[in-house]
């Protein structure tokens, strides 16, 4: 059964200059994740990252070890992890939110000690947003103009 992990973090990249760095992350991730049979989605905003990784548990764990020591973000908070009956993201995809601050509203509550009663609903809302981004453009490539 595939393993799935969702985390959020605070970006240490400064935008718009950080665009090139995000592009580099995407290029590295596309190659490495495909090789590890890991799919998922990454959202980058000027303030936060949110990412879903899904695939064989050892592969997800290996990627997470790299991601957690990456100095381009901080306050990495794993929101959920565990086995999942099926993958939600068919391929690895990437969504930029640019300066659409409404996307930050989906992530910010996790850093504002959200009431536990709300946490599940907020997680589902974030994953739905990531799925919507994926559906809008299944082969999402970095679009610097949107940052």
Ligand X SMILES: Cc1cc2nc3c(=O)[nH]c(=O)nc-3n(C[C@H](O)[C@H](O)[C@H](O)COP(=O)(O)O)c2cc1C
Residue 106 beta carbon to ligand X: minimum distance, rounded to whole angstroms: 16
The residue whose two tokens read 């981004």 is: 133
User: Looking at beta carbons only, is 35 or 116 nearer to ligand X?
Assistant: 35
> Which residue number, 33 or 134, has a Cβ lying nearer to ligand X?
33
The yes or no reply on residue 72 touching ligand X (CB under 6 A) is: yes
Contact region with ligand X (CB under 6 A), list: 65-73, 83-91, 99-107, 125-133? 65-73
β-pairing, 3-11 vs 92-96, is unpaired
Residue 50 CA to residue 39 CA, distance in Å, equals: 14
Contact assessment for residue 26 and residue 42, using Cβ atoms and an 8 Å cutoff:
yes
DSSP state of 36: T
List of residues contacting ligand X (CB under 6 A): 25, 28-29, 32-33, 42, 49, 51, 63, 66-67, 70, 72-73
């Amino acid at each position: 059964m595939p393993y799935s992990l969702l985390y959020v973090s605070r970006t240490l990249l400064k935008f718009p200059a950080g665009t090139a760095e995000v592009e580099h992350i995407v290029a590295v991730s596309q190659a490495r994740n495909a090789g590890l049979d890991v799919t998922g989605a990454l959202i980058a905003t000027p303030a936060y990252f949110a990412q879903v990784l899904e695939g064989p548990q050892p592969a997800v764990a290996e990627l997470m070890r790299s991601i957690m020591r990456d100095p381009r973000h901080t306050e990495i908070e794993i929101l959920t992890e565990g086995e999942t009956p099926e993958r939600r993201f068919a391929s690895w995809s990437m969504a930029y939110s640019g300066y659409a601050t409404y996307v930050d509203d989906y992530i910010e509550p996790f850093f504002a000690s959200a009431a536990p009663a709300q946490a599940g609903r907020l997680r589902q809302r974030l994953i739905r947003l990531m799925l919507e981004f994926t559906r809008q453009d299944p082969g999402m490539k970095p679009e610097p103009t949107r940052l």
